[in-house]
Structure 1
Amino acid sequence: MFKKACILLLVVSTLISCKKDKPFVPNSANGLPGYWTKLGDFAGVGRVRSFGFTIGGKGYILGGNAASGFNSQLINDFWEYDPKTDKWTQKADYPGQAAEYIRGFAINGKGYVGTGYGQRLATPGDEIPQNNDFWEYDPAADKWTRKADFAGGERENVIAFEINGTGYMGLGTDNAYNANFKDFWKYNAATDKWTRVTDYPGTGSFGVAAFAIGGKGYAGTGGASPEIAAKDFWQYDPAIDKWTKKADFTGKGRAFSGQFAIDTYGYIGFGSTVDATADDWFRYDTDNDRWAKITVFPGNSRYDMVSFAIDGIGYVGTGNPGVLKDFWKFTPRKVN
């Protein structure tokens, strides 16, 4: 049932009408609170399934879908966010396929992105909706350069992160959401080459949350066909090319969630559970392999949003339902 509208339900229902959990009030016994602050709206059109990432002290939003549900208005515009001024600046359009679910990472001050579900603008007549094209973005020159195609082939909804100057990408699914890809690849930006590494052993294959902290990659939750919302969580060690099982995510299993990393902590929130759009957020302590619930978001709950961190602050915005364009920041605060 996991189709393009990101409906993750076991019964015929809509995510918009599902009830939320009871409000969560954090304290020293049950959570680590932080502050959500509403920022200025994203300057482009409202969108879903876009990709957000950071290069240096700037955030970026790429592409997505300007329509909701099963409708399609795929876009390839590209925007830069300056947290010091809370301002957006449009940059050079993405020259790849106008697409949703593009993913990538940053290496040595440049962005590397690709894959996704999109329009075959560069190859008319090609009816394969998934993409494998891969591109480098240089913010200093505001220029895109075509790189070696993703070696895993056409797909959407992959995970991607960077560890010690190497990019990692894999998992994902096909347009029918029948495929559960688990292959995982590393990318050498200096040689422009992909190499397959150990497959992901987790349950989810699309809409999986992932981030990198302290030389290790982390991935978990996500959806899989048929109708699975996973909670398992894994650590990837590139030094030995091995995945290790970690503590399960303690919230409801979900896909299409937001995620970012701050210091030695990873954050996962929002997303689609089997019966609702989640509004809760959780913090993962990589040192102690432990999850804690944090403050519930004060705005609209959502899925298919963009999320990233800049200088110890988390940023979240856009998304479903309703092609949102609001933008928020999360400032963590410890409890004594």
Structure 2
Amino acid sequence: MNNFKKGILFAALFSSLVFIGCSNDDDDDDLMGNWVKKSAFDGPARSSATSFVIGDYAYVATGYTGDVYLKDLWAYNSTGDYWEQKADFTGVGRSSASSFALNEKGYIGLGYDGTNKLKDFYQYDPTSNSWTQKTDFAGTGRYAAVGFQAGGKAYFGTGYDGNYLKDFYQYSDVTNTWTLVNGFSGNKRRNATAFVIADKVYLGTGINNGVYQEDFWEFDPATDVWTRKRDIDKDTDDDYSYNDDYAIVRSNASSFSMNGLGYVVGGESIKTIWEYNPATDLWTERTPMEGASRTDAVGFAINNRGFYMLGRVGSTYFDDAWEFKPLEEQNSDDN
């Protein structure tokens, strides 16, 4: 082959590679949503922390640094974008605990302290900045369970106690008691995630014996009824096209909801974020997390603003914090 023909072939191959690279970049550019870096977390970098939101503040507690199981508590002021340390959690330090807010109090329980799977349970009063131990969780000691509150009712469920679990218990702050709630026919799992929209709970993702779970559920606390929604796996073999591009299944993800939509972000070696619309039962991919991919991070929403922070990749632990703005185009120059 003469040099002229070689030159043409090389130019064609180079152009193809550039085109493919630009096409991939364009795919990301077409996605909506902007990630804005916020004030870094003031405590030690960590993974597997837990959080609850009361008013204009998010409270982040416990977690694991790679060496130490933590029990500190930090409050994030979303208006001023700063952190304040609060009274330490009075249980043992732990990771993978569960939490919720109920009637202007925060609650944390369950988790793992490096030796034991835990079932103790505590209430935090932000007015007095104090903790009170409450009745132990009525199920088995466990970690990597979900916690949520909707319609004035609060729950812990799923997780891992040496076996994968699917049970749910409701907590009453009036009687300080737990009640087993029946009716969830989904798969057992740990490291699932849940978000709340209009007093209904949406639960999905997680893992069971190395298999990512694809079932997705809506729970109505007013009727105690679980309803299975469309699965979140990619499936090009069925008669539908809505899920041909889905890449939602994962574990150790975070979630939050704002303006009537739910968001699932991150997880094991994943930095994508997907938006759920309960009116259509459909998911839309948004701009991937701008920071490092991470697992065991924390997600929450304050006054319809979504935040995502902490976590780890391998043995590297993070203390950065991000806000996701779904209606803006990605702007890498604002961080």
- Normalising TM by the smaller chain, what interval? 0.7 to 0.9
Q: Whole-Å Cα distance in 1 between the matches of residues 135 and 107 of structure 2?
A: 11
Amino acid at match of 2:279: D
Q: Whole-Å Cα distance in 2 between the matches of residues 208 and 168 of structure 1?
A: 14
CA RMSD of aligned residues (A): 1.6
Q: Is the 8 A contact 1:283 1:291 kept in 2?
A: yes
Distance 1:233 1:41, change over 3 A: same
Q: Does 2:320 align with 1:333?
A: no
Q: Whole-Å Cα distance in 2 between the matches of residues 334 and 297 of structure 1?
A: 14
Q: Does 2:201 align with 1:217?
A: yes
* Among 303, 308, 317, the residue aligned to 2:300: 308
Alignment of 1:7-46 (within 5 A): 24-25=27-28, 27=30, 33-46=32-45
Q: What are the Cα deviations for residues 173-209 of structure 1, in whole angstroms up to 9, with x where unaligned?
A: 02xxx51111111111111111111253223511101
Local SS of the residue matching 1:206: coil
* Among 230, 254, 257, the residue aligned to 1:258: 254
Local SS of the residue matching 1:25: helix
Amino acid at match of 2:312: N
Q: Whole-Å Cα distance in 1 between the matches of residues 259 and 147 of structure 2?
A: 19
Amino acid at match of 1:297: M
Larger relative contact order (CA 8 Å, sep ≥ 6): 1
Alignment of 1:1-336 (within 5 A): 24-25=27-28, 27=30, 33-67=32-66, 72-118=67-113, 129-174=116-161, 178-225=162-209, 227-249=210-232, 250-272=246-268, 277-321=269-313, 322-333=316-327
Q: Is the 8 A contact 2:265 2:273 kept in 1?
A: yes
Local SS of the residue matching 2:283: strand
Residue 252 of structure 1 and its aligned partner are, at CA, apart by 4.1
**Structure 2 length-normalised TM:** 0.83
Residue 284 of structure 1 and its aligned partner are, at CA, apart by 0.4
How many percent identity over aligned positions? 34
Q: Hey, which bits of structure 1, 4+ residues long, moved more than 3 A?
A: none
Residue 253 of structure 1 and its aligned partner are, at CA, apart by 1.8
User: Of Structure 1 and Structure 2, which has the larger fraction of its residues in helix?
Assistant: 2
Q: How many aligned positions are there?
A: 290
Greater Rg over alpha carbons, structure? 2
Amino acid at match of 2:62: G
Q: Whole-Å Cα distance in 1 between the matches of residues 328 and 65 of structure 2?
A: 37
Q: Whole-Å Cα distance in 1 between the matches of residues 120 and 287 of structure 2?
A: 38
Residue 168 of structure 1 and its aligned partner are, at CA, apart by 1.1
Q: Is the 8 A contact 1:231 1:248 kept in 2?
A: yes
**Structure 1 length-normalised TM:** 0.83
Residue 240 of structure 1 and its aligned partner are, at CA, apart by 2.4
Residue 169 of structure 1 and its aligned partner are, at CA, apart by 0.9
Q: What are the Cα deviations for residues 304-327 of structure 1, in whole angstroms up to 9, with x where unaligned?
A: 001100111111111011110011
Q: Whole-Å Cα distance in 1 between the matches of residues 97 and 86 of structure 2?
A: 17
Q: Whole-Å Cα distance in 2 between the matches of residues 194 and 285 of structure 1?
A: 32
